[in-house]
Chain A
């Protein structure tokens, strides 16, 4: 009775094509900047780009999960900040050892995600409104809990290593890829596996394609949806740890606006805002395109007012290309 419906074949094919398109755009951007800006293609700058992608990439993966179900999560940015503040409270205010801080941040994220999921699935509040509310609540709570001041992690010297240390660099000194980037790729691989190989992933797509059909087939649609929001929340907790570690502090006023960067990366990567279609790989490429673009324009000394114009244009072009291609297929 509860056999999970598989996503229609056409979705997978178009997903692959969009990923290819996004990947090709990324390569072209890299080639363009390495010719146009002499200082672009150097190890330290490539690492700077990857590091700039780590937080947005992880947030975008969380956003991808929710968007595939046909929802939207506007709270990813401030939830990240909230989790960073929770880690700060546990490690700095309570003086507990590092693993507790990590667990607390991820648990806080999953808990808040579960609340969002409950608002959406059980109370039937539209995801846009429910997560908009959560976004503001979490922004406020971060300020309240932290006393509106940054919480520094000076008493937990290893905390800084979470994002800025380099396990890869310890083994191969020539490529000191920061741990924050490593975490991004681990999260990407894990969630990619969850989406494509597990029941949770199949229901994620099924809810986005046809929620009614899922319900009618006797599946606990609400339960699965809540689980997906909770998982996305937990991932925001990981993003909170990465950013807090990078800044060696939980910055309570930060986070607003980061949800839009995350959603932009998801959309550039070919995930449909209508739900039912998307991939983690696409999202990662989308996030990379955004940070390569921004870094490249900066290294070329393009004036800042133009940088945002270009970024906005790229988002529109990417989505338009995706729409045109799909119109041709039907």
Chain B
């Protein structure tokens, strides 16, 4: 008895959820995006951009990504499922570009154009790459930091991880710019908090304890930046200049009330939009530019409300 009832329950639960999105449009051009993440606000903003393009061009778009940026194999499984659906083109943000190449070759053999987004793939398979120049963006953060602390003193970095392309590029971009252009600034510590707010808070508190004369801290992604901000608030060290990366409601509010000096923003909505647009063009056999620079901006209290900046910030 139980067997049958269980099975029905399982199947009907699946069916119920499935019908909501299934059968929407089988004849529409279908473009899946396999991302590096899903639940962070940044990825949701990329998704919003992709959805915007989908509505504008009348294509069907799906957006998926693994729970953490370490799960390279889970991303492979998502890519495999996306390929099984015989899409017109694929958008792909590789966690490990080398590990992804065999699958991308499979797409190439099936004649499915691939558009890389967020981080590039070390291969000539993608017809285009829509991305931010992370090293240059972090370099701008370093210049702003130098300006805000008066060109001398101790600074530190809280980075999300030491293995991903964005983690490496932002760290190196910041550190190298300091070395080249601001020799009187000393980078006393670089720590990694997995982009986790709480972990980044604890790391920052330890840093502040170790260096009572710390002048500024750069948080290299949304979670890291919020962590730095929390630590500065909890320890009451409001003299420390905090610079963040990306946006989100908490960071925007902190910049508004002055507890964060400013932050670098990418253009996640633009990344999603340009990816779908390029994928659609490629699926029709049109030529697309190899590199689509989606840009980055410095924003602080003074320019947050300007239309140009407000358009790329997300909550």
Residues B70 and A247 in contact, CB atoms below 8 Å apart: no
Would you give the shortest CB distance from B51 to chain A, in whole angstroms?
A: 11
Are B67 and A257 in contact, CB atoms less than 8 angstroms apart?
yes
Contacts of B14 in A (CB 8 A): 29, 32, 293, 296-297, 310
B99 within 8 A of A: yes
A295 neighbours in B (Cβ, 8 Å): 77, 80-81, 84
Contact A25–B10 (Cβ < 8 Å): yes
Q: Is A51 an interface residue (CB 8 A)?
A: yes
| Bound-complex Cα distance A152 to B24 (A) | 42
**Quick one: given A24-B7, A298-B78, are A251 and B85 in contact (CB under 8 Å)?**
no
* Any B CB within 8 A of the CB of A300: yes
| Cβ contact within 8 Å between B77 and A48 | yes
Among B64, B69, B83, which residue has its beta carbon within 8 angstroms of that of A304?
Answer: B64
- Residue A309 interfacial (CB < 8 Å): yes
Q: Is the CB of A32 within 8 A of B2?
A: no
Residues of B within 8 A of A92 (CB): none
Which residue of chain A is the closest to B67 with respect to CB atoms? A257
Are B96 and A251 in contact, with the CB atoms below 8 A?
yes
Q: Cβ of B292: which chain A residues have Cβ within 8 Å of it?
A: none
Instruction: Specify which chain A residues have a CB less than 8 angstroms from the CB of B9 in the assembled complex.
Output: 317
In the bound assembly, the distance between CA atoms of A252 and B83 in angstroms comes to: 27
- Closest CB of chain A to B288's CB: distance in Å? 25
Report if B72 contacts A (CB, 8 A): yes
| B98 CB contacts on chain A under 8 angstroms | 150, 152, 248-249
Q: Which of A6-49 contact B (CB under 8 A)?
A: 20-21, 24-25, 28-29, 32, 36-37, 39-40, 42, 44-45, 48
Smallest CB separation, B79 vs chain A (Å): 9
> What are the interface flags for B52-65 relative to A under an 8 Å C-beta threshold, 1 for contact and 0 otherwise?
00000000101111
Q: How far is the CA of A289 from the CA of B38 in the complex (A)?
A: 23
**Distance of A324 Cα from B18 Cα, bound (Å):** 28
Contacts of A32 in B (CB 8 A): 11, 14-15
Pair A298/B64 contact, Cβ less than 8 Å: yes
Q: How far is the CA of A29 from the CA of B86 in the complex (A)?
A: 22
Q: Is the interface of A mostly helix, strand, loop or mixed?
A: helix
Q: Which residue of A lies closest to B4 (CB)?
A: A24
Binary per-residue interface labels of chain B (163-179) against chain A in the complex, 1 for a CB within 8 Å, 0 otherwise: 10000000000000000
Contact B3 A21 (CB under 8 A): yes
A42's nearest neighbour on chain B, judged by CB, is: B84
Asked whether A330 is an interface residue with its Cβ less than 8 Å from the other chain, the reply is no
Give the distance in Å from the alpha carbon of A282 to the alpha carbon of B6 in the complex: 17
Could you tell me the distance between the alpha carbons of A37 and B2 in the complex, rounded to whole angstroms? 27
Bound-complex Cα distance A164 to B102 (A): 10
- Which of A55, A257, A300, A325 touches B18 (beta carbons < 8 Å)? A300
Q: List B contacts of A246 (CB < 8 A).
A: 73, 76, 99
Provide the A82-110 mask, 1 if CB < 8 A to any CB of B, else 0: 00000000000000000000000000000
Interchain nearest-CB distance for B27 vs A (Å): 12
The minimal Cβ–Cβ distance linking B254 to chain A, given in whole angstroms, is: 28
A154 CB, min distance to chain B CBs, angstroms? 8
Chain A proximity of B160: nearest CB distance (Å): 11
| A190 sits at the interface (CB 8 A) | no
A121 touches B (CB below 8 Å): no
**Residue A321 CB within 8 A of the other chain:** yes
A302 within 8 A of B: yes
CB < 8 Å neighbour of A310 from B3, B17, B64, B81: B17
State the CA gap A246–B79 with chains docked (Å): 14
B208-228, CB under 8 A of A: which get 1 and which 0?
000000000000000000000
Across the interface, do B63 and A304 meet the contact criterion of CB distance under 8 Å? Answer: yes
A243 interfacial by beta-carbon distance below 8 Å: yes
Asked if A299 and B11 sit within 8 Å, CB to CB, the answer is no
Given A302-B22, A321-B2, A325-B2: A45 and B81 interface contact (C-beta under 8 Å): yes
Partner of A299, one of B6, B15, B63, B85: B85
Q: Which residues of B contact A243 (CB under 8 A)?
A: 73
A28:B7 contact, CB within 8 angstroms? yes
Residues 250-272 of A at the B interface (beta carbon under 8 Å): 251-257
The A-contacting residues of B in range 98-147, CB under 8 angstroms, are 98-99, 102
- Does A301 lie within 8 Å of B96, measured CB to CB? no
B21 touching A298, Cβ below 8 Å: no
On whether A248 and B99 interact (CB within 8 A), knowing A254-B70, A301-B21, A303-B21, the answer reads: yes
Distance, CA A253 to CA B68, complexed state (A): 10
Query: Closest 6 interchain pairs by CB?
Result: A298-B81, A48-B80, A253-B70, A45-B84, A247-B99, A321-B6
* 23 A-B pairs in the complex with CB atoms less than 8 angstroms apart: A21-B2, A36-B15, A36-B18, A44-B84, A48-B80, A48-B83, A51-B80, A150-B96, A247-B76, A249-B99, A251-B163, A254-B71, A254-B73, A256-B70, A294-B77, A297-B14, A298-B64, A300-B18, A301-B62, A303-B62, A304-B63, A317-B10, A321-B2
Chain B interface (Cβ < 8 Å from any Cβ of A): 2-3, 6-7, 9-11, 13-15, 17-18, 20-22, 24, 38, 60, 62-65, 67-73, 76-78, 80-86, 96, 98-99, 102, 161-163
Q: A291-B77, A295-B84 are in contact. List 4 more A-B contacts (CB 8 A).
A: A45-B81, A48-B80, A51-B80, A152-B98
